[in-house]
Structure 1
Amino acid sequence: MLITNAHIINEGHETAADLLIRNGRIEKIAKKIDAPAGVEVFDAAGHWLLPGVIDDQVHFREPGLTHKGDLYTESRAAVAGGTTSYFDMPNNKPAITTRKLLAEKYANAAGRSFANYAFYFGGANDNLEEIAALQPDEACALKVFMGASTGNMLVDDPKTLEGIFSRCPLMVVTHCEDTPMILANEAAAREKYGEDVPISEHPRIRSEAACYKSTELATGLAKKYGANLHVLHLTTARELSFFTPGPVKGKKITVEACAHHLYFSEADYATLGNLIKCNPAIKTEADRKALLHAVMEDRIDVIATDHAPHTAEEKANSYFKAPSGLPLVQHSLLMLIELVKRGELNLRTVVNKTSHAVAERFGIRDRGYVREGYFADLVLVDPHGTTTVKKEDILYKCGWSPVEGRTFPARILATWVNGGLAYRDGVVNEKPLGERMHFS
């Protein structure tokens, strides 16, 4: 396929150019390319052509929780939103805490994912030898829940944590919240409200102090052992002190922010309630603004979603019974573009944080950039169009979105995965084009 008249935004530059795709890769980028015989021509009409979003944190719920979502349904929603690659978390049923289970998960994904995929290996208090045996291309990284999690995936044994940070051959990726502090806050909330705790208490239960204490522990261990550490979904201004501004290349300690923590604040609990209940919690407007500033100064390295669907029935429960997590992959790029239009971010930074920096930090081979020789994972955006999120257009298996009813000031026109059109003008190509990603 030849894409003509594209406004390419890539590596800090904006260029008007044509782009030729052959055998799944970008063969040529030039000001003008004559269409070779038999090659389909796609007129980009001057719209933005970006590298596809690489989401380094999703929960697609397979295996074991597929009533909420699965690799097929959620990756299908992802390509409709311009996300061409994702890293799926290991807190499945069963949890992916053995190399055998990890291999089975990869085998199950083959031919079923619309976007490219990679999987995390899960840390537990009892699988240190499995962790130490991991090979470089076997998983995208090791996920360690240093806050509450499901099953046996809460790693709270100090000796195990020391062993992980000293022996893990892969990057260590952490969810940082202090469980004892959270449990004490829950007890205090129950004493005050009984079981009818209002959702507005969520950012005080999953508190700034609980986040700070756990992030301090993780960064301290990484420095002590020289480990590669990536901290997920930062939510507070106070935690930013653990991270340094600058390009992602060369950093051994990096940090991620999520689209919903950049977009929502605690004021939104009044209208959205449990629909935006997530861990760690969405916090104050001051925290949101501090996170946005940290993205712009390159203190925050990556933007992701932590896409985590639950059924509408589950979310309708009372505070303690409603699970945490929200679905975002279909609309995350549109949310970030709205922040660009508001003047809170800029587009080149969004492209860097959602594509280039993810590829750089995790060592993804031949993806994350619009470059000759790289896989053609691309998204075409109409910056003058609009998208109103309607229930009938939501592709998640759970069937709802926290941004339903909102109108975004842009439109996703097309998505290419490995050179094939995965999505165009509201229609998903029903042949899954995703492949397993590989890492250097």
Structure 2
Amino acid sequence: MKSIVIKGAKVYHNGRFQDLEVRTDGPFISQVASRVSTDGARVIDASGLHLFPGIIDVQVHFREPGNTYKEDLESATRACAKGGVTSFCEMPNTSPPATNQKAMDYKLSLGAKKSRVNYSFFVGATNDNLDDLIGIKRVCGIKVFLGASTGDLLVDDMKALERIFAETNKNRVIAFHCEDEAFLRERKHLFEHRSDMRAYTEWRNVEAAYISSHRVVGLARKYQHRAHILHVSSARETELFHPRDTLVTAETSPHHLLLNVDDYDRLGTLGKMNPPLKYREDNAGLWKALQNGRIGVIATDHAPHTLEEKRRGTWKAPAGIPAVENSLALILDASSRGMCTLEQVVQWMCENPARTYAMKRKGFIQPGYDADLTLVDPNAEHVVRNSEQLTKCGWSPWDGQKLRGRALTTIVRGQVVYEDGQVNDDVRGSEIEFAV
């Protein structure tokens, strides 16, 4: 593996962008300084660019095993590389679901063979697999679905949920899909006669999410167990979280920040996901929560389905959208419009994801850390086009949208995996290591 030296970039280091050079040797960053040795190294002239730590997407659904006609680890991680994403945490609602060590070991073997970027996987909780959760190894965390979504995973027995909190490793993150299943079941008949997508949002409303998130926060504090609330979609939920809280943390997604029910007029069922799009005031509230630290992470909830599936109507179309390929570009574009700073993009998409899951050597540009790096041009304008998507499903809800800012080069553990518009399919990522 040839060493790499990056010169000329604004490098994010110790909380700010600086005029520094970075050298990688093997899979690690070896030097960060005003001038580094170029001996035996490939030199990348990055003048005019910004060097980010590699983007870490801690909520994705890559559909393998079981639904590889929608996506697989090869297509998904090629899309990651193009989008500047160097590491991911993948959800367990595959087919079959990943709910025990045997299933986890199989997914890890797939990652080693197929993933172009660094990989990790959640184990899924059920009402009756507590013993598997207690003894599980080599996972990023435990995933709990409190509201039914894609797949068959659901925890709707509150005694089982309390035992998960009480008996699993209290430092291991339990990540929650928070929508109250009983509330949803009671209300669905009120909306099923309608075919418009707004009915879907009115059914799976803010209250459904708030009830569930409130319960999780209470249980986390009762048992002093790490909990992370996924894809927060409403302003009201953010009231439950506190800046600098290390016990209960939260994330939101690009679509909940940038889209709302008004976009159903354009997207129709292509804009269906769980939890669903909310309202303009929720967009504003989520941005505010990122700014004040109540929410610390942006992750995609990349959940691809084919266009044919997505066009089956409000109640039959599956929930989920592809996003991993465009997530960084979307938030860079938001930054170009004054909604956040580039420093905050790094915090929300690199540093805080690594901290949230106690990843070893990830999220920062420091000597000794993994050489996962993303070269960004914050001024590069481009148009998202379905025809250019690398994700297997072949579409994006942002098709036709002009964005400002994108990843130009992606480096995974010292190997250039994306450059000049091409993915290097010889590169393989590595299993992510965790302190817990």
Structure 1 residue 152: deviation in Å? 4.2
Equivalent position of 1:8 in the other structure: 11
Q: How many residues align?
A: 430
Q: Which has the larger displacement, 4-13 or 354-363?
A: 4-13
SS of residue matched to 1:409: strand
Tell me if the contact between 1:75 and 1:115 (Cα under 8 Å) persists in the aligned partners: yes
Determine what percentage of the aligned residue pairs are the same residue. 39
Match of 2:221 among 220, 223, 247: 223
Cα distance in 1, alignment partners of residues 216 and 49 from structure 2: 42
Match of 1:49 among 51, 71, 88: 51
Equivalent position of 2:160 in the other structure: 160
Change (3 A) 1:10 1:336: farther
Cα distance in 2, alignment partners of residues 129 and 210 from structure 1: 29
Equivalent position of 1:403 in the other structure: 398
Matched, 1:21 2:24: yes
Structure 1 residue 277: deviation in Å? 0.7
Tell me if the contact between 2:61 and 2:303 (Cα under 8 Å) persists in the aligned partners: yes
Q: Deviations over 1:398-420 (max 9, x none)?
A: 01011111111123210000111
Q: Name the amino acid aligned to 1:162.
A: E
TM-score normalised by L of structure 1: 0.95
Cα distance in 1, alignment partners of residues 155 and 405 from structure 2: 42
Change (3 A) 1:398 1:155: same
Matched, 1:148 2:148: yes
Tell me if the contact between 1:18 and 1:32 (Cα under 8 Å) persists in the aligned partners: yes
Structure 1 residue 327: deviation in Å? 0.3
SS of residue matched to 1:239: helix
Matches within 5 A, 1:4-403: 4-36=7-39, 38-135=40-137, 138-169=138-169, 170-191=172-193, 193=194, 197-246=195-244, 251-403=246-398
SS of residue matched to 1:19: strand
Equivalent position of 2:422 in the other structure: 427
Matched, 1:436 2:431: yes
Cα distance in 2, alignment partners of residues 141 and 398 from structure 1: 27
Structure 1 residue 351: deviation in Å? 0.5
SS of residue matched to 1:386: strand
Tell me if the contact between 1:10 and 1:351 (Cα under 8 Å) persists in the aligned partners: no
Structure 1 residue 265: deviation in Å? 1.5
Tell me if the contact between 2:63 and 2:94 (Cα under 8 Å) persists in the aligned partners: yes
Cα distance in 2, alignment partners of residues 63 and 407 from structure 1: 34
Structure 1 residue 226: deviation in Å? 0.9
Which of structure 1's runs of 4+ aligned residues deviate more than 6 A?
A: none
Cα distance in 2, alignment partners of residues 43 and 151 from structure 1: 46
Tell me if the contact between 1:11 and 1:348 (Cα under 8 Å) persists in the aligned partners: no
Cα distance in 2, alignment partners of residues 143 and 176 from structure 1: 11
Q: Name the amino acid aligned to 1:201.
A: A
Tell me if the contact between 1:418 and 1:433 (Cα under 8 Å) persists in the aligned partners: no
Tell me if the contact between 2:385 and 2:396 (Cα under 8 Å) persists in the aligned partners: no
Cα distance in 2, alignment partners of residues 149 and 282 from structure 1: 15
Tell me if the contact between 1:11 and 1:356 (Cα under 8 Å) persists in the aligned partners: no
Cα distance in 2, alignment partners of residues 78 and 216 from structure 1: 33
SS of residue matched to 2:315: coil
Q: Which has the larger displacement, 148-157 or 366-375?
A: 148-157
Tell me if the contact between 2:70 and 2:305 (Cα under 8 Å) persists in the aligned partners: yes
Q: Which has the larger displacement, 151-160 or 232-241?
A: 151-160
Structure 1 residue 12: deviation in Å? 2.1
Q: Deviations over 1:209-243 (max 9, x none)?
A: 10011111111111111111001000111111110
Cα distance in 1, alignment partners of residues 289 and 279 from structure 2: 15
Q: Deviations over 1:191-226 (max 9, x none)?
A: 4x3xxx101222111111100111111111111111
Cα distance in 2, alignment partners of residues 52 and 305 from structure 1: 15
Cα distance in 1, alignment partners of residues 323 and 14 from structure 2: 25
Cα distance in 2, alignment partners of residues 10 and 120 from structure 1: 30
